[in-house]
Structure 1
Amino acid sequence: MAANAPIEKIRNIGISAHIDSGKTTLSERILFYTGRIHEIHEVRGKDGVGAIMDSMDLEREKGITIQSAATFAMWGDYNINLIDTPGHVDFTIEVERSLRVLDGAILVLCSVSGVQSQSITVDRQMKRYRVPRIAFVNKMDRAGANYDRVAAQLKEKLNHHPVKLQMPIGAEDRFKGLIDLIQMKAFYFDGENGETIREEEIPAEMLEEAKERRQQMIEGVAEVDDQLGELFLSDVAIPNDALVAAIRRATIGLKMTPVMCGSAYKNKGVQLALNAVCSYLPNPKEAQNEALDQKNNEAKVILESDPEKPFVGLAFKLEDGRYGQLTYMRIYQGRVSKGDFIVNQSNQKKVKVPRIVRMHSSQMNDINDATAGDIVALFGIECASGDTFTDGAVSYTMTSMHVPDAVISLAVAPKDRSALANFSKALNRFTKEDPTFRVHRDEESGQTIIRGMGELHLEIYIERMKREYNCEVQAGKPQVAYRETISQKGEFAYTHKKQTGGSGQFARVCGYLEPLPSDAVQQYEFVDDIVGGSIPREFIPACDKGFTEAVKKGSLIGFPVVGVRVVINDGAFHAVDSSEMAFKTAAIMGFREGYAAAKPIILEPMMKVEVQAPEDFQGSVVGQLNQRRGTILSTETAEGYVTAVAEVPLNTMFGYSTDLRSATQGKGEYTMEFARYTPVPRNESEALMAAYKEKQAAEQAARK
């Protein structure tokens, strides 16, 4: 492998898609054809070896990808850095942080299911980081495969401008090969693993259709590329190199999505997809990367992929390896060599680089230096996920990643007290590695609470504690992250007075609470409307502190209060007895008074649930969702399968997977992601409040 490939020949790409669309199988084939591995193992293969990119035992057992794995390969003289990302919504941060550092991506779609809920989430993430992509319609050998329908869904559901560069020869069990509409040649994949590519003339009976499709393809590209548009209108024959150049410009400019097809499992079409990665996706120089200049008021700076410029790198993922922390880093500018000193911009600490490696899933290859555009891993560098490093010459930080909020929490404790040290070691490591996994200690109950993106997410971490840290964990019942809010304006006028020996305490705050608009970004807002100095300026921050503390715990069920604006407009103070402490206390008590008057309500997280099952079970699937207080948004049937999309409260979703399996003879599957917060129905909120009161009474009794 050429360690110093010119930057024009480097491609940093990711493979992402809905769960079970064949991402890992596709990565496995790419590694095989580029000569990185010499035999192919299936994700759920009978030989039990599992795919090389799923290097954790857990991934092999469950047949899903949990951590994104990085590897590199050579295709011709192109150097491809590849990241295989998870499809499961619970591991969405893995996709998020991979897309943050990639220049291009392959969006894998299933030829039968088409664009599914997770494809939409992944696509949203790609748009957020402006990542150009190629769509690869996989599983063309499956019953019900329909290339044109999936390409049309790209337009309908994702608002892409899809342009089909290929035409399949046959479909389902008659899927034989592909016609390349640019070269106008037919390609077949022979040999045991499809490694021998046979190029032939297009079969006579398909020539007319191929010509028509080529014309449609040229029109599709001409619509979004002016140079090709002019050629197209002047009615001259369009040379292939002009067509390829136009597709490249339009793809990198995010104006179109080239669509290709094949079957990774049956070894067809993967090599052509690799050619397309090299032809149409950007090299690091063509991707625009911005940093913020900390010395110049966070002004935006465009980073240039130039090895001679000052070094800038982003630590985007951490792993606890056998030899200590392994830090994955994308180098945006400059170069870094073994033995260099680099500066962590989050704490200005200077650290030495002891070892640089290129990753191949869980195997490593040592290298001496890395330059702009590379994705490498460094050993022996302590940092957090998302830290920016420079050589000290500049003070830049990369823009931060979007981290979604946790929606589910569990109380956990080690079964055996002797495993306590390992328990805290594991939690420390997981929170450092995964920004969506959060841990806190509940002061009242003394329990350790872990929070995450879903049941599976927390389940995997509990399982990993057992395997990697030899620590069996007891988990309580999952707890939903409820919220409280107010439904109308509520006024308060509270006087805090305490007179003991010596100086007393005195503070008076008056004002009101009101709901924030539903699209507000901040969940709490403090407005100071004091005029005429009824509360001196130096005590205003103490009032804000008091209110900030009060919103952490509502009085209905003890959950945080959101969507509230607190306005203070009057008050009183005493020259001797007033203090910051007195005003903070008055603010806390004043908030409670206003909160009670503002008709508080409880909010619960609603999840968007997408269920797929054979058509015969449509009744029971819809019935189950209705039983769980779900609102059905849409149901559609295609190829004998029904897909139901519903909004369901998270609280009712526990144990759903078991119920769904038993109702559909094990054939149903579902995905779920957070949608929004909505008010809890009355009978439910009364039950929650009664349970909270009981808990408080029990705690008080225990204290006595």
Structure 2
Amino acid sequence: MQSRAFSIADPNIMRNIGISAHIDSGKTTLTERILYYTGRIDEIHEVKGSDNVGAKMDSMELEREKGITIKSAATYCEWKDHHVNIIDTPGHVDFTVEVERALRVLDGAILLVCGASGVQPQTLTVDKQMKRYSVPRVIFINKLDRMGADPWFCITSVKERLGLNAAAVQVNIGIENGLQGVVDLVKMKALYFEGENGDNIVEKEIPEDLVEMCKEKKLELLASLADHDPEIEEYYLNEDINIPIDVLKKSIRQLTIEQKFCPVYMGSAYKNKGVQPLLDGVIDYLPRPTEVKNYAFDIAKNNEKVMTEIDNKKPFVGLAFKLEESQFGQLTYVRIYQGKLKKGATLNNTATKKKVKISRMVRMHSNEMEDINEAGAGDIFAIFGVDCASGETFCDQTINWSMQSMHVPEPVMSLTIKPKKTDQLELFLKALNRFQREDPTFVVKQNMESEEIIISGMGELHLFIYCERMKREYDVDLIIGNPTVNYRETITHKATFNFLHKKQSGGAGQYAKVIGYIEPKDQSGEEADLSCQFMDKTEGQNIPNEYIPSIEKAFHECTKKGPQTGYPVVGVNYVLTDGQTHPVDSSSLAFGLATKYSFREAFQKAGPQILEPVMNVEVTVPSECQGSIMGQLVRRRGTVTNTQTKTGLFILNADVPLAAMFGYATELRGATQGLGEFSMEYKMHSPVGEFEVADVIEAYKKKRADKDEE
């Protein structure tokens, strides 16, 4: 642990960026090079490297062992007098919340695309997340040293599959094993990266065989800008590529920040080519914190929307976007949206209404910490010893604002879990509590009937990693139950109810009548609305207002466990139109019971339907395995959505029910002699096939019967 004197960084020379992409696109390798070229590390180490050191940003033993990034890591560096905060995020869809919360607080991003594979499923997810938080990005086509690499195929796939207005600002010199450098289309100069680690950049004239191609690609660049910039349009219409560098840079910067354009860089991080110009692109084209509009909600003024200002003199506003448990206690990552913070200050947590004293502030460099005394507007840092949850807002005591929290996807898979030894129960519960606080997509519940503890998450790998961490970090051996799929229940059409609950057994009785209907929610929007909603459309006083909250509460309790499978009910409106009371026997309890019985009765008449999670699966195999792979996925109830063949590889996209994907990794390895690979991500919940419905219901009945026997 180091301690250095830091001054507050000027927001005008600051960049907050993330590096995001599909799994195995080279994010951590790129970050390693960035840290090396900016002088933050003295040596380059590889992901899962042969020197047993591993990349700087993969600090967990599990990350180095498996060669994947599991949790996002933060660092910072200096490049050409600019202060750059960087968050390296995981590529695997199971850890997508790490990307989600990083993009929530960043001003810009580098989107990595593999030069051989182009746009892949997780690239689509990352792109959607960047659009959700309006994050401008530059694109880096990596791995141009690989067999089959083709940057122009990648740019086409970015335009077609992501719908982005993207164009190259560089042209590669050589490809695959012959990759030598890049041509900078803005300066119209060739750049070569010499020396063992590519430290020495040599600028030369463009090779003769590339001159015509570079002119053509520069015109394509001007064409992409001309639609939004009249000044560039004039050059383009005249086919004049001799545009002043400052004019071209200004246009690229403005349109990138407005998210109307994405400049595309090229290279190979592993081969140390193209990283320094990419860093220049981050400085030249991605926004300063002062150029990004961020909003908060003023709790004191009925959640009125207010704009935050990157100004150190304004009252402090910061968002806790990530938590980590360390040997020194809880580490909370904070992004400052307004004002500055000094060590020893007292802040308000606007979610819990508690005051917190900031006793220690640090800058993170992967798993290393460097103590600081203050941080200013726009910066990212971490604090110790503050009890809070991810997504909570800290404010100066003079204001009461709340930042908008991040989008948290629903878990799709569950496991039952318990410690092998009862004396490990305390450690086991401590680990579960910690992981829940750190990761909003890791959900722990207890089945009240069986008293089993159920963990839910984004996939098999997600849950396996937490089980493995429990064993390594807490020395707890586990008994793990079979994976279960998180089904959902819904209805297909409207059904009315007119239910009277009447009970008389001496003394005060129970009397409540509810009239209304249930209906499926409209799912015509871009994303399915899976929430359930209670609507009170009663007129007059047939049901007094005092009973309405009990009816609403009872309805929401009904939706927690569906009648057919015990899984939650989604996408249903319960509309109350009328009812009846008794002057003596009516009560909140009676109306609650009437609601539950009316819901169950109407649900059976409303075309009940079971939904299952469907995954977007991408399989990459040698071309000769094409037939067997398609057969495998069809047998697993998959629907093929896209196929492409590229330099000896066959790439297939299919929508496959999650329940049918268990054990697929082993089957794929067997069919391709270990050469096939696949990735999958949650796409939607879709109706279970008619032949599988009975099996799902039967499994639920059997589970209940087994519990009754116990």
TM bucket (normalised to shorter chain) is over 0.9
1:201 to 205, 210, 214: 205
- State the distance in 1 between where 2:309 and 2:542 align: 55
1:505 to 510, 523, 540: 510
1:637 to 637, 645, 648: 645
Equivalent residue, structure 2, for 1:48: 52
- State the distance in 1 between where 2:129 and 2:296 align: 19
- State the distance in 2 between where 1:603 and 1:234 align: 57
- State the distance in 2 between where 1:340 and 1:214 align: 53
1:362 matched to 2:367? The reply is yes
1:101 to 88, 98, 105: 105
Equivalent residue, structure 1, for 2:227: 223
1:463 to 468, 473, 476: 468
- State the distance in 2 between where 1:209 and 1:522 align: 51
- State the distance in 1 between where 2:500 and 2:215 align: 84
1:330-341 maps to which residues of 2 (within 5 A)? 330-341=335-346
Judged with a 3 Å threshold, the aligned counterparts in structure 2 of structure 1 residues 7 and 701 are, in CA distance, closer, same or farther, namely closer
Amino acid at match of 1:631: T
- State the distance in 2 between where 1:572 and 1:212 align: 77
The normalised TM-score by structure 1 is: 0.97
2:243 to 238, 243, 247: 238
Equivalent residue, structure 2, for 1:289: 294
Structure 1 residue 185, shift from structure 2 partner: 1.5
Q: Greater shift after overlay, 597-606 or 651-660? A: 597-606
2:458 to 446, 453, 460: 453
- State the distance in 2 between where 1:673 and 1:523 align: 21
- State the distance in 1 between where 2:103 and 2:187 align: 31
| Count of aligned pairs between the two proteins | 702
- State the distance in 1 between where 2:82 and 2:140 align: 20
- State the distance in 1 between where 2:685 and 2:9 align: 50
Equivalent residue, structure 2, for 1:139: 143
Deviation per residue, 1:53-101 (Å, 9 max, x gap): 0000000011000111100111121111111110000000000100111
Judged with a 3 Å threshold, the aligned counterparts in structure 2 of structure 1 residues 202 and 515 are, in CA distance, closer, same or farther, namely closer
1:491-640 maps to which residues of 2 (within 5 A)? 491-519=496-524, 521=529, 523-640=531-648
Structure 1 residue 493, shift from structure 2 partner: 2.9
Deviation per residue, 1:155-179 (Å, 9 max, x gap): 1111111121111111111111111
Judged with a 3 Å threshold, the aligned counterparts in structure 2 of structure 1 residues 235 and 621 are, in CA distance, closer, same or farther, namely closer
- State the distance in 1 between where 2:226 and 2:521 align: 47
SS at match of 2:361: strand
Amino acid at match of 1:633: T
1:263 matched to 2:271? The reply is no
Equivalent residue, structure 1, for 2:686: 678
SS at match of 2:548: helix
Structure 1 residue 472, shift from structure 2 partner: 1.3
- State the distance in 2 between where 1:4 and 1:353 align: 17
Structure 1 residue 113, shift from structure 2 partner: 0.4
Show structure 2 runs of 5+ residues with no match: none
On the 8 A contact 1:408/1:453 being kept in 2, the answer is: yes
Deviation per residue, 1:614-659 (Å, 9 max, x gap): 1111111111111111111121111211111111111111111111
Judged with a 3 Å threshold, the aligned counterparts in structure 2 of structure 1 residues 571 and 28 are, in CA distance, closer, same or farther, namely same
On the 8 A contact 2:121/2:616 being kept in 1, the answer is: no
Structure 1 residue 498, shift from structure 2 partner: 2.2
Judged with a 3 Å threshold, the aligned counterparts in structure 2 of structure 1 residues 276 and 578 are, in CA distance, closer, same or farther, namely same
Equivalent residue, structure 2, for 1:27: 31
On the 8 A contact 2:346/2:355 being kept in 1, the answer is: yes
Deviation per residue, 1:221-268 (Å, 9 max, x gap): 233223433565688852111111111111111111001101100101
Structure 1 residue 532, shift from structure 2 partner: 4.8
- State the distance in 1 between where 2:607 and 2:206 align: 72
1:273-312 maps to which residues of 2 (within 5 A)? 273-312=278-317
Amino acid at match of 1:150: C
Equivalent residue, structure 2, for 1:154: 158
Equivalent residue, structure 2, for 1:11: 15
- State the distance in 1 between where 2:221 and 2:591 align: 70
Amino acid at match of 1:4: I
Judged with a 3 Å threshold, the aligned counterparts in structure 2 of structure 1 residues 234 and 109 are, in CA distance, closer, same or farther, namely closer
2:409 to 404, 408, 419: 404
Deviation per residue, 1:493-535 (Å, 9 max, x gap): 3322222232122222233323222246353232334345333
On the 8 A contact 1:224/1:256 being kept in 2, the answer is: no
Equivalent residue, structure 1, for 2:394: 389
Judged with a 3 Å threshold, the aligned counterparts in structure 2 of structure 1 residues 314 and 523 are, in CA distance, closer, same or farther, namely closer
Structure 1 residue 415, shift from structure 2 partner: 1.1
On the 8 A contact 2:151/2:266 being kept in 1, the answer is: yes
- State the distance in 2 between where 1:568 and 1:342 align: 45
SS at match of 2:409: coil
On the 8 A contact 2:295/2:307 being kept in 1, the answer is: yes
- State the distance in 2 between where 1:509 and 1:131 align: 49
Amino acid at match of 2:107: D
Equivalent residue, structure 1, for 2:328: 323
- State the distance in 1 between where 2:502 and 2:244 align: 87
Judged with a 3 Å threshold, the aligned counterparts in structure 2 of structure 1 residues 192 and 572 are, in CA distance, closer, same or farther, namely same
Equivalent residue, structure 2, for 1:434: 439
- State the distance in 2 between where 1:589 and 1:358 align: 57
1:699 to 682, 707, 710: 707
Deviation per residue, 1:470-511 (Å, 9 max, x gap): 111111011111111223333333322222232122222233
Equivalent residue, structure 2, for 1:89: 93
1:253 matched to 2:261? The reply is no
Structure 1 residue 701, shift from structure 2 partner: 4.1
- State the distance in 1 between where 2:366 and 2:43 align: 15
- State the distance in 2 between where 1:3 and 1:227 align: 40
2:189 to 185, 198, 206: 185
Deviation per residue, 1:308-338 (Å, 9 max, x gap): 1111111110110110011111111110011
1:170 matched to 2:174? The reply is yes
SS at match of 1:97: helix
1:348 matched to 2:353? The reply is yes
1:667 matched to 2:675? The reply is yes
Structure 1 residue 206, shift from structure 2 partner: 2.5
On the 8 A contact 2:118/2:154 being kept in 1, the answer is: yes
Equivalent residue, structure 1, for 2:662: 654
CA RMSD of aligned residues (A): 1.7
SS at match of 2:600: helix
Deviation per residue, 1:554-602 (Å, 9 max, x gap): 2212222222222333433211111111111111112222222333222
Structure 1 residue 455, shift from structure 2 partner: 0.6
SS at match of 2:560: coil
1:488 matched to 2:496? The reply is no
Amino acid at match of 1:696: R
Q: Greater shift after overlay, 114-123 or 554-563? A: 554-563
Amino acid at match of 2:460: E
On the 8 A contact 2:7/2:374 being kept in 1, the answer is: no
SS at match of 2:604: helix
SS at match of 2:290: coil
Amino acid at match of 1:252: I
SS at match of 2:402: strand
Deviation per residue, 1:26-57 (Å, 9 max, x gap): 00000011111111111021112110100000
Among all aligned residue pairs of Structure 1 and Structure 2, give the percentage whose two residues are the same amino acid.
Answer: 54
1:128 matched to 2:132? The reply is yes
- State the distance in 1 between where 2:565 and 2:215 align: 67
- State the distance in 2 between where 1:523 and 1:617 align: 42
- State the distance in 2 between where 1:287 and 1:87 align: 26
Judged with a 3 Å threshold, the aligned counterparts in structure 2 of structure 1 residues 636 and 349 are, in CA distance, closer, same or farther, namely same
On the 8 A contact 2:614/2:658 being kept in 1, the answer is: yes
Q: Greater shift after overlay, 357-366 or 224-233? A: 224-233
Amino acid at match of 1:154: V
